[in-house]
Homo-oligomer: A and B are copies of this chain.
Amino acid sequence: MLNLNDLYSNRAKRNAGSFLRQIFPRTREPGVINFAGGLPNPDFFPIEPIIAATEKAMRMDGRETLQYGMTEGLLGLREWIADRYARQGLKVTPDQILITNGSQQGIDLIGKVFLDPGDKMVIEAPGYMSAIQSFAMYEPQFIGVSLNEQGMVVDELADTLKQHRVKLMETCPSFQNPSGLAYSIATREALAKVVSQHNVVVVEDDPYAELRFMGAETKSLQAYLGEQVITLGSFSKIVAPGLRLGWTLASPEITRKLTLAKQLVDIHTNLFAQRVLFQYLLDGNIDGHINQMRGVYLSQRNAMVDAMARYFPPETVFTKPEGGMFVWVTLPEDADAMALFNLSMDTEKVAFVPGVPFYTDGKGKNQMRLSFSTQSPAKIEEGMQRLGRVISSYLDAPSKN
């Protein structure tokens, strides 16, 4: 006598699944050049070093590594992460670090610990789709704040924080997903000045920070706002996402709350993977590896923005990221990137992500996200040539529907 519709929670009824999940099957069709993903380049995964690290770690600490562990995560790994922030001049202690199943889990835990239904939270517009959807499960009221070439528009943020009692702000200040934009130092300073006047916690989603391949280094928002910030870090983009290892960096007090929440969610993060990664970080050449990835992504980024300049019609605008994996394209106002996606897949087999799911208010219809991270420069050149043809013929068509 089962009637599931009477049993599902309201949040489950609202969760229709991610947009990427819906377009995913099309991106796997044969012959497609796929710029829709946000995956790191698998050609450079440290496979042999991880085999070696596993053997060494398991011979050294097999019993402890395969047993239940502390919710906080492996102490050595937390110390390694804390030490890494010292490079920016930040003083971080291991009790400020919680190891998570990728930084996506950090987002979910923050929603769990901070959001009651109806609470107000600021998100970037456009913002990271999976963060928006994850927070949405806790039923907040989203308020979008615009981005420009310097990062978040601080005047708009200031007005928003004055008008609304905002609990939480989601930001991705370095090479943002989806736009590729980075907050300038001036923006970070101005944002900190505004935020410090309000009782609000800033989520700094920061998986791409180490992937800067040009321009001046910036510091984490931690350097400006301290205990008002929860920074989400990840090994997915600098080592490998299949390990599902990320972390939260916050005050000891907030870290404790997140830890108590995580304990009930899954007890602790995979200790086997934590211990293997820690051994890899000790023995491998992580800085060399990150430098190599920066070089790879720079050449792929150059291939993309250069080809866009050559092949895209002049009324198209796109970002020129100094790091990360994404370029954000804006078509003329009346264009519909979803219609363009279907046309592109049907005629030229080039995949990207249309812009609407990166907003919570229906904006972004004429925008799209492209990732350069998994395609060779030659494939990017070919893909942009094809996509340029699709955009031109779409914009030239008398009716765009």
Contacts and interface: CB of A to CB of B under 8 A. Distances in A.
A66 B39 contact: no
Contacts of A399: none
Contacts of A227: 2
A11 B108 CA distance: 14
A260 B242 CA distance: 19
A18 B201 CA distance: 26
16 contacts: A1-B199, A8-B114, A12-B113, A15-B261, A16-B260, A18-B263, A45-B63, A50-B66, A51-B54, A51-B58, A66-B242, A104-B267, A242-B271, A244-B268, A244-B271, A272-B273
A69 B240 CA distance: 11
A69 B199 CA distance: 38
A187 interface: no
A23 to B, nearest CB: 14
Integer count of this chain's copies in the complex? 2
Interface stretch (A80-88, A89-97, A129-137, A376-384): A129-137
A100 B64 CA distance: 21
Interface string A1-23: 11110111111100111100100
B47 A265 contact: no
A260 B102 CA distance: 17
A6 B114 CA distance: 9
A243 to B, nearest CB: 5
Of the four ranges (under 10, 10 to 19, 20 to 34, 35 or more), the interface on chain A belongs to 35 or more
Contact of A112 (B1, B4, B12, B59): B12
Interface in A104-123: 104-105, 108, 112-116, 119
A133 B59 contact: no
Nearest to A239: B66
Given A227-B2, A241-B68, A201 B51 contact: no
Chain A interface, DSSP helix/strand/loop, else mixed: helix
Contacts of A8: 113-114, 257
A266 B104 contact: yes
Given A58-B51, A265-B105, A1 B197 contact: yes
A229 to B, nearest CB: 10
Contacts of A62: 45, 47, 50
Nearest to A245: B270
Contacts of A265: 104-105, 108, 134, 265
A253 interface: yes
Given A40-B67, A45-B63, 9 more contacts: A1-B196, A12-B260, A18-B264, A51-B59, A65-B242, A101-B269, A102-B266, A105-B266, A244-B271
A90 to B, nearest CB: 18
A228 interface: yes
A42 B58 contact: no
A400 interface: no
A158 to B, nearest CB: 14
Nearest to A12: B113
